[in-house]
Amino acid sequence: MANLSAVLFDIDDTLFSTTVFASRARHAAVQAMVGMGLKATEEEVFRELQEVLREFGSNYAHHYQKLLMRLPRAVLGDLNPALVESAGVVAYHDTKFGGLEPFPDVLPLLGKLREAGIQTGIITHGWTIKQAEKLIRLGVLPLVDPKAVFISDQVGISKPNPKLYSLALRKLGLEAEQVMYVGDSLEHDIAPPGSLGIRTVWSRRAAKDGQDPEAIRPDHIIDDFGELEAILRDSYSALPPA
């Protein structure tokens, strides 16, 4: 087995629970909008917001504007829609700014890898500024090599295209067997790097339901980064003995 030189990570639902965080922020937005005087319950407004998200995608920039356009006119009444929309946006961002934090075992492991001389980095799918902002707000950036951060929008290659992972190998000057990749999606994070010979770890604690590790087989399956630490120590000698 080749020496492990780098461990690269996905961000969303790997370093933190995107699903839990987004739900909390969107509920705060709906609560603020209803608090402005919308004539509907929070449950009704949130249900409509969920439809907007499904139809336009999570990266769309005007969810709350579309939400107000879809609600019956009587729900808005005489309220100024710009003010109601802004209340939702502000509440969403206030929650985002104050509540974004990694799983508690993420930063300790990244610190141990850095101390051991293992290069750490990121391969993530999403808009450049949004993903970069997450790294900063999560407190991850000081513990990863900035030259080993690859964001799909920034490099022009999207997951699950294996070329994204090939680009990372080329930029880092590493062979596939020297690299481990950790992610939550079997289709996006395990199959593509695995096809190149990169060692793959499926982190399933925040992974979406319905994934089949028998259909797409990772090298390792973990429920937390304590288990990942043990794998790195015992199977790869990448960390010193406990």
What is the pLDDT at residue 3?
87
CB 178 within 8 A of CB 170: no
Question: Rounded to the nearest 5°, which phi and psi values hold at 58?
Answer: -70, -20
- Distance, CA of 194 to CA of 197 (rounded, Å): 5
Q: In angstroms, rounded to a whole number, what is the distance separating the alpha carbons of residues 48 and 28?
A: 15
Q: What is the pLDDT of residue 1?
A: 52
What is the CA 125 to chain-centroid distance, rounded?
8
Q: Domain residue spans in the chain?
A: 6-16+101-234, 19-99
Query: Given this structure, which CATH class describes domain 19-99?
Result: mainly alpha
Summarize pLDDT for 85-116 with one digit per residue, the tens.
999 999 998 987 777 899 999 999 999 999 99
Q: What pLDDT score was predicted for residue 2?
A: 61
Element holding 133 (H helix, E strand): helix 128-137
The number of CA neighbours under 13 Å toward the Cβ of 11 is 29
What's the mean pLDDT in 33-59? 95
Say which DSSP state 190 is in. Answer: I
Phi, psi dihedral angles at 79 (to 5 degrees) = -70, 150
Q: What percent of the chain has pLDDT over 90?
A: 89
Tell me the two tokens of residue 130: 């949004």
- Model pLDDT, residue 102: 96
Please name the amino acid found at residue 105.
D
Question: Is a pLDDT exceeding 80 seen at residue 59?
Answer: no
pLDDT tens-digit series, residues 149-206:
999 999 999 999 999 999 999 999 999 999 999 999 999 999 999 999 999 999 999 9
Q: Residue 99: is it exposed, middle or buried by C-beta count within 10 angstroms (0-12/13-18/19+)?
A: middle
Computed over every residue of the chain, the mean pLDDT equals 95
pLDDT tens, position by position, 12-25: 999 999 888 889 99
Closest CA to 105 of 237, 222, 241: 222
| For residues 215-219, average pLDDT | 96
Model pLDDT, residue 57: 87
Q: Which residue type occupies 29?
A: A
Pick the CATH number of 6-16+101-234 from 3.90.1820.10, 3.40.50.460, 3.40.50.1000, 1.10.3720.10: 3.40.50.1000
pLDDT at residue 61, as a whole number: 84
Q: Shortest CA distance to 125 belongs to which of 180, 71, 183, 50?
A: 183
Give me the helix-helix angle, 106-115 and 225-234, nearest 10°. 20
